[in-house]
């Protein structure tokens, strides 16, 4: 089965890129209200921030979300919701790749040397 390409977004605070599902989205809806978008599908202009406390604090301090969303001011409730969502996100666990049973490593150079 073919794997689907995951959309990549940039954090407005630290400018690192990551998969869309790993970032937190804040959206300015068409009526002008700004809110945290947990599902990432709300209609409106969106901005993404990492789930790290340092990125959320920097975005609040330097007004990066306001600038990205072209909004005049964000309420404290947006940043409270971001911090709550960030605390509920578990850090990714690196899972080592499991080898396929019965598969032998392929070394094409060895195959060419053995055939000559």
Collect all residues with Cβ–Cβ distance below 8 Å to 70 and sequence separation of at least 6: 28, 45
CA distance 6 to 31: 30
Q: Which tens digit of pLDDT belongs to each residue from 10-44?
A: 999 999 999 999 999 999 999 999 999 999 999 99
As a whole number, mean pLDDT of residues 48-57 equals 95
What is the predicted pLDDT for the residue at 98?
47
Is the pLDDT confidence value at 109 over 60?
A: no
What is the predicted pLDDT for the residue at 95?
47
Q: Which tens digit of pLDDT belongs to each residue from 88-105?
A: 876 554 545 444 455 455
What is the predicted pLDDT for the residue at 90?
61
The CATH homologous superfamily to which domain 8-88 belongs is: YlxR-like (3.30.1230.10)
Is the pLDDT confidence value at 55 over 70?
A: yes
pLDDT grade, residue 113 (50/70/90)? low
Could you give the maximum distance between any two Cα atoms of the chain, in Å?
74
Please say whether the beta carbons of 59 and 12 come within 8 A. Answer: yes
Q: Where are the domains of the chain?
A: 8-88
Q: What DSSP designation does 6 have? A: P
Q: What separation in angstroms does the CA of 61 have from each of 13, 15, 27, 54, 58?
A: 10, 16, 18, 10, 5
As a whole number, mean pLDDT of residues 38-62 equals 95
């Amino acid at each position: 089965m073919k794997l689907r390409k995951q959309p990549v977004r940039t954090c407005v605070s630290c400018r690192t890129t990551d998969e869309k599902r790993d970032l937190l989205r804040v959206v300015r809806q068409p009526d002008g209200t700004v809110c945290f978008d947990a599902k990432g599908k709300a209609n409106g202009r969106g901005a993404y921030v990492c789930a790290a406390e340092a990125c959320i604090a920097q975005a609040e301090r330097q007004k990066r979300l306001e600038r990205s969303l072209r909004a005049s001011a964000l309420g404290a409730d947006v940043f409270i919701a971001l911090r709550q969502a960030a605390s509920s996100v578990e850090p990714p666990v690196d899972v080592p790749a499991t080898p396929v049973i019965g598969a032998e490593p392929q070394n094409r150079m060895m195959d060419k040397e053995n055939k000559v």
